[in-house]
Chains A and B, each alone.
Chain A
Amino acid sequence: MGEERSRRHWYWLLLVPLLGLLVPPIYNDVDPTLIGIPFFYWYQLAWVPISVAVTAVVYVKTRGL
């Protein structure tokens, strides 16, 4: 039971994408651009793979919970 409870802590990781995306002042900028795309756009798109990675870790660590 204790082991199950500590595995549940992995769920906290799910907050990471929210922190990265819900504070626009972090990324409301043109520079640095990436192949001509302003930071504002590629930063937010970059969170797609990051969020997938985070959820994947949570999935593996909480399997069967």
Chain B
Amino acid sequence: MPIAAVNGLELAILIALFVFVTVVGFAAAHWRRAASLEDIDEWGLGGRKFGGWVTWFLLGGDLYTAYTFVAVPALVFGLGAIGFFAVPYTVILYPLVLLAAIRIWSVAHRHGMVTPADFVRARHGSSTLALAIALTGIVATMPYIALQLVGIEAVVKTVGLTGDLPIIFAFAVLAAYTYQSGLRAPALIAFVKDTLIYIVVFVAIIAIPIQLGGFDAIFGAAEQKFAATKDVPNDGILLGDSAALGYSSLAFGSALALFLYPHTMTGLLAARSRNTIKRNMMALPAYSLVLGLLALLGYMAIAAGVQPIGDDPNTIVPVLYDKQFPDWFAGIAFGAIAIGALVPAAIMAIAASNLFARNVYKEYLKRDATREQEARVARLTSLVVKAGALLVVLSLDPQFSIDLQLIGGVIILQTLPPIVLGLWRTMVHRWALLAGWAVGLISGLWMLYDTPNPTTGHEHFGGAQYALSKLPGFGDTEVTVYTGIIALAANLIVVVVGSFVLKALKVPAGEDTTQPEDYESDWGEPGVEPLPATPDQEPTPKPEPVGR
């Protein structure tokens, strides 16, 4: 379709929505105002007092990113059934991580922990291991932030704008209000983002099938398209014979990885109580339904004859809206996607900055740093992180960000043993955990490097599915498994065997400064700060930070 001219109405609505959330973002600094934002609990965790609704919007805005919203339909558009893994992935996520989420919430509140690496430090008594976890988190998060720009870019292209200026401007504004308001900004903007997303998705899922003659016609068109592409091996509206294990291991591994990402932890720790988290684990699948319906838009795009702009498959959802709806509604949909990129980008930047401030700056650069200094360092770091992500997207091939994010998912999974085994107080040794982490990273990276992509002709980093036939003992099979899961298995073996060996050799274990009851404490109990009863009530000035 010709995109020579800028669509004025779409652009006007997009700009209006952007200006609106910018105002909201700056105003958020005054929302449920604390005595001062010069405290890392206030800037980086929104004061740790978000109730059920705020947490629902915040986590929903955090976990279901704009990139997910454009990339999942694009994957369904290109390959079919495999792209639907996003549904089992985001449905099993909540029952899978519920117990771990409430345990880490409790121990983090009792000890004033801000990041997952803080927990690792206290639980396993090793600042080296904590540093490894913190750096893994930062490295895994950076490309994820960069990818959010890909979501904005898809919209900007469809509206007809060219050049890098719109993205630079959007990110500069985002950086400014994140610096100003901290986690309160994305929390408040998430209300706008999610409301818009729900509206545009539900309208599309009802209106487009009517326009296209029903789901029979839509799936028929998809089947026809996949039947015609003989050179693409794994496409189709059902999974291929050998794709089942790859599909379920990807869903399972992605769910575990999403829990371990620092920005998820930030969203969880900002909740007010254990019950807030449990209620959210129950209510968050509403977003998974939206994601599933969005995935089906990939098929609708096939049936509607959508052609991606340039060779960028990520533009198919914006183009579909542009094609099927009046300009004013398409403009709202574009706004929803663009704002959908800003919320997670802000939370991810905050999470990465918290990691740097707590686990690098305070641990290694300035041991006697006060909470105020931590907050200042975190705020400055958030600016650096955003500038870095912008630079990566502008100077490198977008494919590079996608490769990096693939790697990010695999390496963040390698932080599972110290965190999850730590939460259940398993007797694992700190050096075994560090060795397992290193083995998981190296084997994961090697397997990703060793994966070609026959469709694009790339010899390396061709996807996160590793052929089992390349591993010893599996023989000749076409079955593939999610690379992150294989690396995690290697990691866990090293952790278990290493712990036995180190224990037998009587190598001193790290000091565990947590107590068994810390993992089950709830708000209002000793050591966990009492919180204001109603959201509007002015919180009392913060006493000395809890814990050590």
CB <8 Å contact, B219 and A55: no
Tell me the bound Cα distance from A37 to B237 in angstroms.
11
| Residue of A whose beta carbon sits closest to that of B520 | A65
> Contacts A44-B84, A47-B91, A59-B278: A24 and B239 contacting too (C-beta < 8 A)?
yes
- Enumerate chain A residues within 8 angstroms of B91, measured Cβ to Cβ: 17, 21, 44, 47-48, 51
Q: Smallest Cβ distance from A23 to chain B, in angstroms?
A: 7
> Contacts A18-B95, A18-B96, A59-B279: A44 and B238 contacting too (C-beta < 8 A)?
no
Provide the B266-304 mask, 1 if CB < 8 A to any CB of A, else 0: 000000000100110111011011001100100000000
Q: Smallest Cβ distance from A48 to chain B, in angstroms?
A: 5
Binds A, one of B132-140, B149-157, B244-252, B311-319: B244-252
Choice from A18, A37, A63 contacting B215 with Cβ under 8 Å? A37
Report whether over half of chain A's contact residues are helix, strand or loop; otherwise say mixed.
helix
CB <8 Å contact, A48 and B285: yes
Most chain A CB neighbours (cut-off 10 Å) among B88, B94, B279, B288: B88
Tell me the bound Cα distance from A18 to B256 in angstroms.
12
The answer to whether B216 has its CB under 8 Å from any CB of chain A is yes
Choice from A40, A54, A64 contacting B81 with Cβ under 8 Å? A40
| Residue of B whose beta carbon sits closest to that of A14 | B95
Provide the A38-57 mask, 1 if CB < 8 A to any CB of B, else 0: 10110011011001101110
The answer to whether A2 has its CB under 8 Å from any CB of chain B is no
- Enumerate chain A residues within 8 angstroms of B214, measured Cβ to Cβ: 35-36
Interface size class of B (residues with CB under 8 A): 35 or more
- Enumerate chain A residues within 8 angstroms of B239, measured Cβ to Cβ: 24, 28, 40
Q: Smallest Cβ distance from B113 to chain A, in angstroms?
A: 21
Interface size class of A (residues with CB under 8 A): 35 or more
CB <8 Å contact, A24 and B244: yes
Tell me the bound Cα distance from A38 to B81 in angstroms.
11
Choice from B92, B237, B522 contacting A21 with Cβ under 8 Å? B92
Provide the B227-270 mask, 1 if CB < 8 A to any CB of A, else 0: 00000000001110001100110011000000000000000000
CB <8 Å contact, A44 and B88: yes
The answer to whether A22 has its CB under 8 Å from any CB of chain B is yes
| Residue of B whose beta carbon sits closest to that of A63 | B275
Provide the B65-96 mask, 1 if CB < 8 A to any CB of A, else 0: 00000000000000001001001100110111
Provide the B162-196 mask, 1 if CB < 8 A to any CB of A, else 0: 00000000000000000000000000000000000
Provide the B84-121 mask, 1 if CB < 8 A to any CB of A, else 0: 10011001101110110000000000000000000000
The answer to whether B378 has its CB under 8 Å from any CB of chain A is no
The answer to whether B218 has its CB under 8 Å from any CB of chain A is yes
Choice from B84, B244, B522 contacting A25 with Cβ under 8 Å? B244
The answer to whether A1 has its CB under 8 Å from any CB of chain B is no
Choice from B94, B243, B244, B293 contacting A55 with Cβ under 8 Å? B94
CB <8 Å contact, A51 and B292: no
| Residue of B whose beta carbon sits closest to that of A65 | B520
CB <8 Å contact, A35 and B248: no
Q: A21-B88, A35-B214 given. 13 additional CB < 8 A pairs? A: A11-B98, A18-B95, A18-B252, A23-B248, A24-B243, A33-B216, A36-B218, A37-B219, A38-B237, A45-B289, A51-B285, A62-B278, A65-B520
Tell me the bound Cα distance from A41 to B295 in angstroms.
10
| Residue of B whose beta carbon sits closest to that of A30 | B238
Tell me the bound Cα distance from A30 to B81 in angstroms.
11
Q: Smallest Cβ distance from A13 to chain B, in angstroms?
A: 8
- Enumerate chain B residues within 8 angstroms of A33, measured Cβ to Cβ: 216
| Residue of A whose beta carbon sits closest to that of B237 | A38
CB <8 Å contact, B289 and A55: no
Tell me the bound Cα distance from A25 to B248 in angstroms.
10
- The 6 listed contacts between A and B (C-beta, < 8 Å) are A21-B251, A22-B92, A38-B238, A48-B285, A51-B95, A52-B283
- Enumerate chain A residues within 8 angstroms of B248, measured Cβ to Cβ: 21-24
Q: Smallest Cβ distance from B431 to chain A, in angstroms?
A: 32
Q: Smallest Cβ distance from B165 to chain A, in angstroms?
A: 40
Q: Which 7 A-B pairs have the closest CB atoms?
A: A36-B215, A14-B95, A36-B216, A21-B88, A24-B244, A55-B282, A22-B248
CB <8 Å contact, B282 and A59: yes
Tell me the bound Cα distance from A50 to B281 in angstroms.
13
CB <8 Å contact, B95 and A47: no
Tell me the bound Cα distance from A45 to B512 in angstroms.
43
Tell me the bound Cα distance from A11 to B279 in angstroms.
14
Q: Smallest Cβ distance from A34 to chain B, in angstroms?
A: 9
- Enumerate chain B residues within 8 angstroms of A65, measured Cβ to Cβ: 520
Tell me the bound Cα distance from A51 to B282 in angstroms.
8
Q: Smallest Cβ distance from A9 to chain B, in angstroms?
A: 13
CB <8 Å contact, A48 and B288: yes
> Contacts A35-B215, A40-B84, A44-B292: A15 and B251 contacting too (C-beta < 8 A)?
no
